[in-house]
Structure 1
Amino acid sequence: MELLIAAVLFVYVMFVVMATKWVYDYLTKRGVKPNVAIYFNRKLIHVFAGGLVALLVPLFFTSPTIPAILAAILAIVTYLPHKRGKLMYWFQVEENMYEVNFCIMWGVSVLVAWTLLGSPIYALLPISFMAFGDAATGFIRNIIFRRRTKSWWGNLAMLATCLPLGYYLIGEWGIPIAFIASFIEHFEFNPIDDNVLISGTSLAYVLIVGHLFM
């Protein structure tokens, strides 16, 4: 049954990815720069694929194995266009493979947090910050600047998103990491991007707090 659910989720994720092609066409036809449309699409995929699927994991899966395998498959699916030189141009760029990083860190968060702490809820914090929190920065960036740039306004939007998420998932312990993750998002060092920094830092924090205090 869990394999069937994973297959359905895979189809759903691919549907979201393909649907953003329409968003790209819609935006570029209305004068939005292609690079801006690409990164806007990445944030949509963050929310509607990575984020929503993560919320379903505790409901439908009894171990981290199948969700982690699903993430690995999606990492391969997003890596192969780079390898073959045939990018899915509406959300991929030649300069980086950050969407691959997203899939990898999604899987790592599920596998490590669930395995070491015994509950999928702990995995939701790094994934939610990476998916919903980071998406907030992109949406604000497009509204204010209409170009891809790091902005502290975006980080404030991420903080406003992560604070309630962190508190809901792990209580008061979620508040400090919401501030830390929202600050870290401001930086990236290709090939290490904010997906890696946000989820990696949040995962390490959850492991420490979960082991010592929860």
Structure 2
Amino acid sequence: MVFDILLAIILSIYVASTFYSLKFLYEYNRRKGVENETAIYYNRKFVHIFAGGITALFMPFFSSYWVPFLASIILTVVTYISHKKGSKLYWFQNKRDYNDVNFCIMWGFSIFLLWAFLGDEYKWIAIIPALFMSFGDGVTGLIRNMVFKKRSKHPIGNVFMAFVCIPLGFGFGSLCGIAIGGAIAGLIASIVELFEIGPIDDNIFITIFSSIFILIFIFLPIN
């Protein structure tokens, strides 16, 4: 438990540092003439990769899923309150949506539910949907932003997401004997990222659908 608390403190400092260091990137881009929403979108995807993705890689080192789960709940509350108080984290929050809040809660819930349901033996599998959402969707957004200079759902992003997610799924899936299943889950995540239905954004679709396919390949003899 002492190790868990120390690791949680270190990662919390790292995440907070990531959040606030991106403020300087936002201000730099704005000085360079980058439009406000474009600068925000760049930062949001860097949050995905560096705050969400890097920290997800450390989750299996915890002895229990409770500490990372509670940390994600705290981040969910922090980002939600920031929106309610007028986007205090304005350099990566868009006033028109709560996608960053969805990211925090789905990141935590996907790891928590898979780890709790499958057990410690599969804790490296439990982080796969969070990795898809963090690294895969992060790269997707950066590519689209560089090409179109705005937030879009162009399929070119999904192609690059597949390049990231399929190897991620294969590699981490191979740790528990579902390499092909992990790769297919990565492909599915890359496809469903295209969709958003009202407040149900791509973060929700990515984690739910990839989790379902991971469970299918674990419990059915089709790998």
Shorter-normalised TM range? over 0.9
Q: Which runs of 4+ in 1 moved over 3 A?
A: none
Count of residue correspondences: 213
CA distance in 1, matches of 2:148, 2:94: 20
2:41 and 2:145 in contact (8 A); partners too: no
The residue that corresponds to 2:180 in the other structure is: 172
Q: Is the aligned partner of 1:130 residue 2:133?
A: yes
The residue that corresponds to 1:38 in the other structure is: 40
Q: Is the aligned partner of 1:211 residue 2:211?
A: no
CA distance in 1, matches of 2:29, 2:198: 27
The residue that corresponds to 2:142 in the other structure is: 139
In the TM superposition, residue 86 of structure 1 has moved relative to its aligned partner by 4.2
In the TM superposition, residue 87 of structure 1 has moved relative to its aligned partner by 2.9
1:126 and 1:198 in contact (8 A); partners too: yes
CA distance in 2, matches of 1:82, 1:159: 31
Structure 2: any 5+ residue segments left out of the alignment?
Answer: 174-178
2:181 and 2:213 in contact (8 A); partners too: no
The residue that corresponds to 1:158 in the other structure is: 161
1:87 and 1:93 in contact (8 A); partners too: no
Q: Is the aligned partner of 1:110 residue 2:111?
A: yes
Which letter maps to 2:107?
Answer: W
In the TM superposition, residue 17 of structure 1 has moved relative to its aligned partner by 0.5
Q: Is the aligned partner of 1:26 residue 2:28?
A: yes
Which TM-score applies when normalising by structure 1?
0.95
1:177-197 CA deviation, whole Å, 9 max, x = no partner? 222111111111231111111
RMSD of aligned residue pairs (Cα, Å): 1.3
1:43-79 CA deviation, whole Å, 9 max, x = no partner? 10111111000101112x0110111000000101111
CA distance in 1, matches of 2:89, 2:146: 24
> Aligned residues: percent identity?
42
The residue that corresponds to 1:12 in the other structure is: 14
2:26 and 2:39 in contact (8 A); partners too: yes
The residue that corresponds to 1:185 in the other structure is: 193
Q: Relative contact order (C-alpha < 8 Å, sep 6+): which is higher?
A: 1
The residue that corresponds to 2:82 in the other structure is: 81
